[in-house]
Structure 1
Amino acid sequence: MTALSERPAASAPGLLSRVRARVGAYVGLTKPRIIELLLITTVPAMMLADRGWPSWTLLLSTLVGGTLAAGAANVFNCWYDRDIDRLMNRTRKRPLVTGAVTPRAALVFGVVLTVASIVLLALTTTTLAAVLAAGAIFYYAVLYTMVFKRYTRRSTEFGGVPGAAPVLIGWAAVTGSLDWPAVVVFGVVFCWQMPHFWALALRFKDDYARADVPMLPVVTSARSVGRQTVAWSWVTVAVSLLLWPVGAEYGVGRGYTIAAAVLGAWFLIEAHRLLRRIRAGGETRPMQLFHVSISYLALLMVAIVVDAIV
């Protein structure tokens, strides 16, 4: 009796460990780090649209719905890309590659997340926000993942549309419509993605080449990538400065503009430093720009929030 009664207790830690591993595998399919970057652009857009702090119910509903939508798109991406993910060092430990999740289970999971996100946004926010979320999922899962990523060097530019969609979803969740400030912030996030992701692609160029993915650093010279990175960085900063005149009636003032100028200078300096290192022919260290770009975007969104509150 003693031995029999001890077996469940002895196996409990193992069962708990397996459950955690399984849950972790499904969460991993959603690429939570990417979702974090997307969501930091949703709140500022909502605050601009509301000219202050939106209700907690609306805020949480939008963030949860946006998380589910972004997670769904990423799950479909992992499902379709499992053949090339196993060829790249950066992605070979993803759940579908290791077998932690089966392709069928991942596909069902993606469908469930899609339905849940659209229904939640439609019932708790606005129809437009739900439609935009559905469009972003389709664009990323089908157009970007199945077409642009594998067949064109301009996949990053095409992929920038769903990457910036949370801005429009957040604005639409508050107002049920779109306005020029939302378009400008969308433009900032869209343009920002080029220097951000090309820096990452420079770091993992060999991975993409091994998987035959025509990312820009694979199909053109590092110097060309550096020049285009600098050009898009300048466009990003220029678009960010447009928010003052366009968003004045929504509370955007000098405080944001000064912050955007200072942060933009920092971003541009780092982009030019990358180009200089490439031209010098030494170690390029592209991840420096990658990390600076994350801080730049996060702090720029904070500046929007502060202006909206103050």
Structure 2
Amino acid sequence: MERSATLAAIGPPARGRWRLYAQLTKPRVVALMMFTVLVGMLLATPTAPPWSVLLFGTLGVGLVAGGAAALNHLVDRRIDALMARTRARPLPRGVLGGLQVLLFAAALAMAGVAVLWWFTNPLCALLTLASLVGYAGIYSVLLKHSTPQNIVIGGAAGAAPPLLGWVAVTGQVDPGAWLLFLIILVWTPPHFWALAIHRREDYAKADVPMLPVTHGVAFTQRRILQYTVVLVAITVLPWLIGMSGWIYLAGALLLGAGYLQQAHALLRDSGQAMPAFRFSIAYLFGLFAALLADHYLLA
């Protein structure tokens, strides 16, 4: 403890400090979120949105998402120190202090909200701020430690980015935006539960009531398959309501078949948890890419 406190007080060398702060923002997660923000913007209008909205809308949401991720690091620093996957993060290692992380997160979040307020619209800024509160506050502080349904309920914050992109362009929440939100909301539990199966011993050690810890691996495997079936059905809705055409439908069905295969393989063998987790990320990227390709190729 004394060594960690000393390291945090001194701080890392300036040359490597930016990498530590970048790590706090969960850049891979935020990159996928920013892609869905961009897709939400481009789908919101039949013509190209203004470049300023595309640029600053994506930047603003990305900044707030990075701030929320940093706050999550701060809230989870105790359990992160107990888990193999997270014990090398800056806070458990003691190379950054809590106040440093708090100020960094606040600066990112405030900058992001300001960018959205001035370059998109107030509704987008306020909804983005609400998603930060939902993720860093309601999910990280309350739900994560109180219920095995934490990711089902808390997933709403992570599902917001395409809706926020849509609102950045239109200034209102339309049915298409809600449908994009719904897709990610239903995608989140099977995506995260696969990781939770792989890391169930870590979660048990940290006393986090993830579904594989509280209900067992077999129960979670069945839930993943059930949610995947529902997800594949929901992804047909953009085609059914005329939001997209045959290019998207073909892509959604092919990707859905692949995801169902992964979920079925995981049902038979818990050792397939990480392949299923990795595929889920590629699945979401491919699905939103198909939406985007369909929107412009069939325009």
Question: Any residues of structure 2 matched to 1:1-310 within 5 Å, and which?
Answer: 18-246=13-241, 248=242, 250=243, 252-278=244-270, 284-310=271-297
Which amino acid counterpart does residue 300 of structure 1 have in structure 2?
L
Q: Give the TM-score normalised by the residue count of structure 2.
A: 0.93
Identity of aligned residues (%): 39
Residues 153, 301 of structure 1: alpha-carbon distance in 2 compared, 3 angstrom cutoff: same
Map Cα deviations across residues 187-235 of structure 1 (whole Å, 9 max, x no partner).
1111111111111111111111111111111111211001100011011
Q: Is this contact kept in 2: 1:185–1:240, CA < 8 A?
A: no
How far did residue 244 of structure 1 move? Answer: 1.2
Could you say which structure has the larger radius of gyration?
1
User: Could you tell me whether the CA contact under 8 Å between 2:34 and 2:58 is conserved in 1?
Assistant: yes
List runs of 5+ in structure 2 lacking aligned partners.
1-11
Deviation at 1:184, TM superposition (A): 1.0
Is the 1:52–1:308 contact (alpha carbons within 8 Å) kept by the matching residues of 2?
Answer: no
CA distance in 2, matches of 1:241, 1:194: 19
> What amino acid sits opposite 1:186 in the alignment?
F
- Check whether the contact 2:120–2:169 (CA below 8 A) recurs between aligned residues: yes
Residues 136, 162 of structure 1: 8 Å contact kept = yes
Count, aligned residues: 286
SS in 2 for 1:262: helix
- Deviation per CA, 1:252-297: give whole Å up to 9, x if none: 111111111111111111101110224xxxxx22011111111111
C-alpha deviation, 1:92, in angstroms? 0.5
Distance 1:237 1:127 in 2: 34
What letter corresponds to residue 208 of structure 1 in structure 2?
Answer: Y
Give the whole-Å Cα distance in 1 for the aligned partners of 2:150 and 2:100.
28
| Paired residues of 1:29 and 1:71 also in contact (CA < 8 A) | yes
Question: Quick one: structure 1 residues 52 and 256, their matched pair in 2 at CA, closer, same or farther if it must change by over 3 Å?
Answer: farther
SS at match of 1:88: coil
Farther-moved stretch of structure 1 (36-45 vs 121-130): 36-45
> Corresponding residue for 2:8?
none
Cα displacement (A) at 1:54: 2.2
CA-CA distance at 1:101 after TM superposition: 1.2
| AA aligned opposite 2:92 | V
Q: How big is the shift at 1:245?
A: 2.6
Confirm or deny: 8 A CA contact 2:26 2:69 kept in the other structure: yes
Whichever residue aligns with residue 81 of structure 1, its letter is: D
Q: TM-score, normalization: structure 1?
A: 0.90
The root-mean-square deviation of aligned C-alpha atoms, in Å, is 1.2
Conserved 8 A contact 2:265-2:272: no
In structure 1, the residue matched to 2:9 is none
Report Cα offsets for 1:3-38 as digits up to 9, x if no partner. xxxxxxxxxxxxxx9223111111111111111221
Compute the displacement of 1:240 (Å). 0.8
